[in-house]
């Protein structure tokens, strides 16, 4: 399967998306994925077409594994890709791959048309309490998979949350761990 991504998607975004999409294509459809610079040779076109809308709108038009995901934002393109995977039974229950529900080796024979404009511009969470770097990284990675587009910390500086986690504040059963800001 060949993937094309247009010029409004940065090289780093292309690299990150291709790596993740290749994993899902392999796990779900037993289909290898590679990037192409020629849209006419692509099976899947992922394109960001900038406009004046503030919401991460997207359109998914796929017949099997051929078609396009078009959005007005990069996050919308991610939301569209993950929403398309849900049509094949994928569920992103919690952060980390261990908590994804994947049906493997599916025959991609559905025609799928999704035209989505989220109800809200900002869809996200505010994290607070005690958090490790890994918690935050995994959580941020999970958010586009469930249609979110933003992440906030309760305070301007998240240091107190990391300090609570690594120093195990109020937990007499764990020793303090070193951490670096």
Backbone phi, then psi, for 92, in 5-degree steps?
-105, 80
- State how far the alpha carbon of 131 is from the alpha carbons of 157, 160, 171, in Å: 13, 9, 14
Return the pLDDT at 95.
95
Q: From CA 105, how far away is CA 29, in angstroms rounded?
A: 5
- Name the average pLDDT for the chain: 93
Q: Convert the pLDDT of each residue in 25-55 to its tens digit.
A: 999 999 999 999 999 999 999 999 999 988 9
Give the dihedral sign, CA 135/140/143/149: positive
Domains of the chain, by residue range, sit at 2-116, 124-167
More confident residue, 170 or 114: 114
- Please give the structure tokens belonging to residue 69: 């995901």
Task: Give the pLDDT band (50/70/90) at residue 107.
Answer: confident
Given a cut of 80, is residue 64 above it in pLDDT? yes
Task: Report the length, in residues, of the chain.
Answer: 181
> 2-116: what CATH class?
alpha beta
Global confidence as pTM? 0.90
């Amino acid at each position: 399967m060949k993937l094309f991504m247009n010029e409004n998607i940065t090289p780093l975004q292309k690299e990150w998306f291709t790596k993740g999409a290749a994993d899902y294509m392999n796990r779900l459809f037993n289909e290898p994925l590679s990037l192409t610079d020629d849209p006419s040779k692509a099976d899947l076109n992922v394109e960001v077409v900038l406009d004046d809308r503030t919401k991460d709108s997207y359109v998914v038009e796929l017949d099997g594994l051929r078609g396009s995901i078009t959005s007005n934002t990069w996050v919308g393109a991610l939301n569209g890709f993950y929403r398309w995977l849900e049509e094949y039974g994928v569920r992103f229950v919690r952060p980390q791959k261990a908590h994804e529900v994947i049906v493997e080796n599916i025959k991609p024979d559905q025609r799928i048309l999704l035209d989505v404009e989220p109800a809200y511009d900002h869809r996200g969470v505010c994290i607070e309490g005690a958090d490790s770097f890994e918690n935050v990284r995994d959580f941020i990675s999970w958010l586009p998979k469930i249609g979110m587009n933003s992440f906030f910390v309760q305070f301007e500086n998240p240091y107190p949350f990391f300090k609570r986690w690594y120093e195990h504040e109020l937990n007499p059963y764990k020793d303090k761990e070193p951490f670096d800001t």
